[in-house]
Structure 1
Amino acid sequence: MALAKQSQNSRPIFPKSFLLLVGALLIASVTIVVFNTSPGTHFQDRLALGEAVQEREIVISQKGMGVIDIFDAQTGAKIAVFNDKKGGFVRGAMPALKRLRLVNDVPQDEPYRLVQWESGGLTLEDTAVKKRFYLNAFGKDNAASFASLL
């Protein structure tokens, strides 16, 4: 009997106003994430990178062991050839780029988009998978190997 009276007089652990506030914050957080990461928005990119200064769509083709040909996607002209002595970062990135497309079941010959931004940033966008890679994060020399393709 004493337990029944005690539970009737006890207060809830969390007040109703606190639970409503937590719920509102949760809804706001989910809304911000959904709208900020929707395809084509890139709100944070526009703030951090500015406008595109130069861009080029490229097709990367790997022949045999370590030889990579880079073509302009628009004209089909060969831009560069990287063998085992050249383009170490480009060649090193190939397994990860190929795997990403393999996992997502998209063709390997779809173009990538290289973009030089007014902030100095350089990105490589996988047009087939809709992923963007910030090449400056890998160091100045590594980014320069891709920048030479512009």
Structure 2
Amino acid sequence: MNTAHTPTPKLPVTALVALVLVSLAGVAVVRLSGVSASQAEPSPAMAERWLRFEDRADGGIDINDAPSAHRIGEVAPGTNGFLRSAVRGLVRERKRQGVGAQPPFRLVALADGRLVLEDPGTGRQIDLRSFGPANAGVFARLLPGSDSQAHP
């Protein structure tokens, strides 16, 4: 059996070790300094509404203003898949974390142009504009002052 050992070139190995060490040092500095993109100054709210989404027996959804309990919109059975999936995802996270149905959801239009649906019970947020203007418009109609609040 031939046990001859081929020498490993030192320069590539040294460069690789240096790259790993510099990367680890950079990550450590960022972590320890507390700097991150998620800690950017939050944009102020331009409009907001606290909402409750209630399933109906016929498969529709009633959308209620949480503080007043008045119905501000409805989703007919089998329609508006985007609204249904967005709310369903937030409700699924509530169940996973053991948060009940009581805390209302917050819909907020921010000064930086984002439209966000957030769940204060879990801390989860959905940036609705990232799904396109038509999908975001479904929720934008639910904000106070919107021209068409009746049917998202």
TM-score (norm 2): 0.70
1:51 maps to what in 2? 44
Contact 1:66 1:91 in 2 (8 A): no
* Runs (5+) with no aligned partner, structure 2: 1-12, 144-152
Q: Decide whether the 8 Å contact of 2:90 with 2:124 is kept in 1.
A: no
Distance in 2, matches of 1:107 and 1:36, equals: 31
- Is 1:109 matched with 2:105? no
Q: Is the 8 A contact 1:57 1:73 kept in 2?
A: yes
Find the aligned partners of 1:93 and 1:128 in 2 and give their Cα distance.
Answer: 16
Match of 1:4 in 2: none
Q: Does the aligned pair in 2 maintain the 1:61–1:109 contact within 8 Å?
A: no
CA shift for structure 1 position 35: 6.0
Note the 1:55-74 alignment, pairs <5 A.
55-74=48-67
In structure 2, relative to structure 1, the CA distance for the partners of 1:58 and 1:77 (3 Å cut) is same
TM superposition score normalised by structure 1: 0.70
RMSD: 3.0
Q: What is the distance in 1 between the residues matched to 2:78 and 2:91?
A: 21
For residue 129 of structure 1, what is the aligned residue in structure 2?
122
What secondary structure sits across from 1:81 in the alignment? strand
Secondary structure class of the residue paired with 1:93: helix
1:83 to 73, 76, 86: 76
Q: Across the two proteins, how many residue pairs are aligned to each other?
A: 131
Which amino acid counterpart does residue 31 of structure 2 have in structure 1?
V
Identity of aligned residues (%): 30
**CA separation in 1, counterparts of 2:113 and 2:21?**
44
Partner of 2:30: 29
Query: One-letter code of the match for 1:60?
Result: F
Please give the alpha-carbon distance, in whole angstroms, between the structure 1 residues aligned to 2:135 and 2:21: 49
Deviation at 1:65, TM superposition (A): 5.0
CA contact (8 A) 2:61 2:77 kept: no
Greater Cα shift, 92-101 or 53-62: 92-101
